[in-house]
Amino acid sequence: MNFKKQGLKNKATNGINSKNKWKSRTDFKKRNSKHKISSIMEIKKYNSKYKSILNNANNRLKNANRRFKNNSFKHTKWSISILAVLMISFLLVFKFGEGRNLKEAMNFTKIQISRLEETESLKRDKLFSIVSKISTRKISDPLEVYDKIAYITIDDGPSQYTSQLLDILDKNNVKATFFMIGPNMKTYKDEVKKISDSGNSLGLHSMTHEVKSLYKTEKSTLEEFDTCNDILKEICGYKTRLIRIPYGSKPYMSESIYNSLVQNNYAIWDWNVDTEDWKSNTTQIVSSVKVAGSDKKKLIVLIHEKKQSVKALDDIISVLKSNGYKILPIKESYEPQNFWNNNI
């Protein structure tokens, strides 16, 4: 009897243990299933981020390709190389995604996209430089290549501030255009040479900067700029077509004077952003550029060689770059932008 009881007791115990094992296995499967679902969701989440980043980069490339499509020069090799980098990045990212460290894959993708953007910018600059030098068709408007461009133009020099301005430009890896007054060129010959040697553009801004004498006759206006050009050739060994009329090509200059200058092969440049730095402080100068840079594809920024302008230049460059502008010096081949042409 005791034996039978003991046997029944053992069977009951075994049944309970079996039930507990089954329950333990079921709980384990549930937990493992939840863990797998969580891991899958995590991978999907990161892969979604990868796709988003790569799609954004791909869209940038497509936009760049569309902008280049109608140009006279070809960029097929450049496009293929960039797309190849993109595809390699895509494959490597998903290879990382299969591993343990998903954050490492995310960081890898960001680095690749950053390099891609840098490469795109450098390639475009190099292509623009090469085409400008060897193309039979001179580029008349850099908007053929860039989405937004800005020219920083500096009047009334050279002066005691020229070297400081050049240092700031060099530090930011940008070039500007200096419109110079004849007597100042004679006084600061070394500065004129520095402007030229550093790759910035040189332009003329008259001899007298006086309304009454400068605009007296067609002859008097032409003589002032011809004299400036002679001074430039004496210092640098060459002349320039680029000129800026003091106080702008309107309203003081007559149409006959304008036509006379154009017929003598001068390229007249005005501006569409007047910082009024001659009467403004540094904050006001920078603010004027911020406001103007919100809705224009092409900016021609006017500043003068003054102490407050030197202080503002670094911030002006930062504002222009942050708003997507490519800062360029004016070239003689570019179409003149002035009030008479109504193209600014």
Please identify which residue in the block is written with the tokens 């904050």.
283
Report d(CA 163, CA 282) in Å as an integer.
19
Residue 252: how many other CB atoms lie within 10 Å: 14
Catalytic residue among 155, 156, 270, 277: 155
Helices (H), the chain: 2-69, 76-97, 102-134, 162-171, 182-187, 189-197, 211-214, 218-236, 255-263, 282-292, 307-322
Q: Catalytic residue at 155?
A: yes
Catalytic residue among 156, 205, 270, 304: 304
Report d(CA 140, CA 149) in Å as an integer.
13
Select from 310, 205, 291, 292 the least CA-distant residue to 248: 205
Q: Are strands 201-204 and 177-180 parallel, antiparallel or unpaired?
A: parallel
Q: ∠ at Cα 310 (298, 253), nearest 5°?
A: 55
Q: Catalytic residue at 295?
A: no
**Joined tokens for residue 138:** 């001179």
Residue length of the chain: 344
Select from 313, 304, 305, 301 the least CA-distant residue to 272: 301
Could you give the residue numbers annotated as active site?
155, 304
